[in-house]
Amino acid sequence: MIEGLFNTGSLPVLERMVQFTSQRHKLLVNDIANVSTPGFVPTDVDPRKFQAVLAAAIDQRRQTQGGIYNGTIHPTDTEQMRFTDDTVQLAPSNSNDNILFHDGNNRSLESIMKDLAENTMAHNAGIEMIRNQMNLMDMAIRERV
């Protein structure tokens, strides 16, 4: 990572977002794979909790730097999320908010598919925004539009 070039503005935030969505994608894919496995309880990490941690980290960066949005962000680890240098490790919890079927699986295919679609869109949006930032940099370096 080049100091002051790749860790300014929204890039570190977008990086964390893409890391989180790609890890969560794995959980959701596993839930879909086990949709007819008896006794399997789907697992997930609430994206709202991740967003709260991320927002707190952005706030913290703003406060320590006084209005200049430079430097990497340092989200605090929670029970379900551990932030390492290059990824977010997820320790998912079982979701117990659906009807428990007789085979011991409380699947809800519709809500899992919705989560999957949402997560994919969030990931692609994050990647697209990183791409835009890179294009801006490219333009500045080449001095042409």
Partner 1 sequence: MFGSLDISTSALVAQRTRLNVIASNLANQHTVFDAEGNYSPYRRKFAVFAAGDPANGNDAGVHVRDIMEDDAPFRKIQVGVGNPLADKDGFMEVPNIDPMTEMVNALEATRAYEANITAAEATKSMMNSALRLLA
For residue 97, the 8-state DSSP code is -
User: Residue 104 contacts by C-beta under 8 Å, 6 or more apart in sequence?
Assistant: 38, 39, 40, 41
C-alpha radius of gyration, the chain, whole number: 18
As measured in angstroms, the least distance from the Cβ of 20 to partner 1 is 12
Distance (Å, whole) CA 45 – CA 106: 16
Which residues are at the interface with partner 1 (CB under 8 A)?
Answer: 18, 21-22, 25-26, 28-30, 32-40, 109, 113, 116-117, 119-120, 123-124, 127-128, 130-131, 134
As measured in angstroms, the least distance from the Cβ of 41 to partner 1 is 10
Q: Select 55 or 91, whichever has its Cβ closest to partner 1.
A: 91
Q: Select 19 or 61, whichever has its Cβ closest to partner 1.
A: 19
Q: Which residue has the tokens 């960066």?
A: 61
Q: Select 3 or 128, whichever has its Cβ closest to partner 1.
A: 128
Q: Which residue has the tokens 């941690």?
A: 53
Q: Select 39 or 66, whichever has its Cβ closest to partner 1.
A: 39
As measured in angstroms, the least distance from the Cβ of 66 to partner 1 is 32
As measured in angstroms, the least distance from the Cβ of 98 to partner 1 is 16
With the C-alpha atoms ordered 30, 31, 32, 36, is the resulting torsion angle positive or negative? positive
